[in-house]
Amino acid sequence: EAQVTQNPRYLITVTGKKLTVTCSQNMNHEYMSWYRQDPGLGLRQIYYSMNVEVTDKGDVPEGYKVSRKEKRNFPLILESPSPNQTSLYFCASSLLAGVYNSPLHFGNGTRLTVT
């Protein structure tokens, strides 16, 4: 089944403890992206990648890192998580790097709580 898989679904951690949220897609998509969703602020883009080894900042990149070493994987790294990074995170992918004519497929989300 074609899908975007995020892990874990739920994560509770403490301030400053490095964590990685994994994202994998099995559709050979070129484009991948991370979003966070907060009440009243909607979905905001963190980082995106147009292909292997090509990443770029979205609207809210501070405090996050990403890497795209393989086409299928796009992990989100929080080197030193803080409580303001408590949020619902979504990974998405699209067939084409030109995402304007290529729909996004979203994962089921990762709910992160930083205490």
Smallest separation (angstroms) from another protein to the CB of 11: 15
Burial of residue 90, with CB atoms counted within 10 A of its CB: 0-12 exposed, 13-18 middle, 19 or more buried: buried
Smallest separation (angstroms) from another protein to the CB of 79: 23
Helix then strand then coil, % of the chain, to nearest 5: 5, 50, 45
Q: Please choose, from the candidates 24, 95, 21, 31, the residue with its C-alpha nearest in 3D space to the C-alpha of residue 58.
A: 31
26 binds another protein (CB under 8 A): no
**Closer CB to another protein, 37 or 73, in the complex:** 37
97 binds another protein (CB under 8 A): yes
Q: Could you list the residues that contact another protein (CB under 8 A)? A: 4, 31, 33, 35, 37, 42-45, 48, 50, 56, 58-59, 88, 90, 92, 97-101, 103-109, 111
